[in-house]
Structure 1
Amino acid sequence: MTSHKTAQTMKPATAAKKLEIYLEATPAEFREGVVSRDELNALQADPPAWLRDLRRDGPHPRSVVAARLGVSIAGLARGGVTEALTTDQIDAIKADNPQWLIRERETQAKVRAEEKRLRHRD
């Protein structure tokens, strides 16, 4: 008896998280279907135009916004940023350099320094 391998699939939200894109900004056919592991690998290896545009211009999920600003996701929330932002909006925040961003970057630097200290201790 030969075994038939079933394709591993995931919900669009999971695939979007793995691709680091904002699900609500994806095409309807992506949001409404399921994504196989092979399809995800193909999207990562050779992204279609819509995926390249999303990664370049946004809107970006909070994890990407936080990384681009150099703060934590909790730091974004403390700063009042609760929704997806475009690349232009992120650049505007960087240019304005508001007090909350300065404070959160300092906090993030302290957290990273402490994590590094603990890694070297252990």
Structure 2
Amino acid sequence: MTDASREDRRQQPKPKKEQLLSPATAAKKLELYLPATPPEFQQTPISRTALAELQANPPEWLVTLRREGPHPRSVVSARLGVSNSALARGGVSDVMTTAEIADLLAEMPEWLVEEREKRAPGSGRPPGTAVGERPARPE
């Protein structure tokens, strides 16, 4: 054995690479409907830091898309206060705009009242009241 140092031949750790997300995964994390996003978003993988930047400082197209839609099924069901399965049972399309969601909430069809009542008792229409009417207060 000699006292001279030898060359270190062990494998060295690789520098960390930025993890890229597919546009579909990024859209899901941002709760966006992918076909409604700009073409450059749809065609380019997005890094996690770029995704965090989009969440922290959303560009104008993202603000508009979140405000007006179209929204994916998960957002539609959350805004209506029902499950994804309830949308299918109610015959509602997968994608809706904010205006369509507001119209549906304004007309409050029977299936929506029933599904909201299933998900959170007390959130649907109390029995015996007309749509849009407040139930009489007990005195």
Spell out structure 1 runs of 4+ moving beyond 2 A.
none
1:43-122 alignment to 2 at 5 Å?
A: 43-109=54-120
Percent of residue pairs identical: 56
Please provide the CA RMSD for this pair. 1.1
User: What is the TM-score when the length of structure 2 is the normalising length?
Assistant: 0.76
- Output the CA distance in 2 between the equivalents of 1:89 and 1:70: 15
| Structure 1, gaps ≥5 residues long | 111-122
User: What is the TM-score when the length of structure 1 is the normalising length?
Assistant: 0.86
| Structure 2, gaps ≥5 residues long | 1-11, 122-139
Structure 2 residue 36 is the aligned partner of structure 1 residue 25: yes
Higher RCO (C-alpha under 8 Å, 6+ residues apart) = 1
- Output the CA distance in 2 between the equivalents of 1:51 and 1:108: 30
Give 3-state SS (helix, strand or coil) of 1:21's partner. Answer: coil
Give the one of 5, 9, 12 matched to 2:23: 12
Q: How many residues align?
A: 110
Could you give the per-residue CA deviations for residues 62-118 of structure 1, whole angstroms, max 9, x where no partner exists?
1000000000000011011132100000000000000010011011115xxxxxxxx
2:41 partner letter: F
Per-residue deviation at 1:4? 1.7
1:35 partner letter: I
Q: Where is the helix percentage greater, Structure 1 or Structure 2?
A: 1
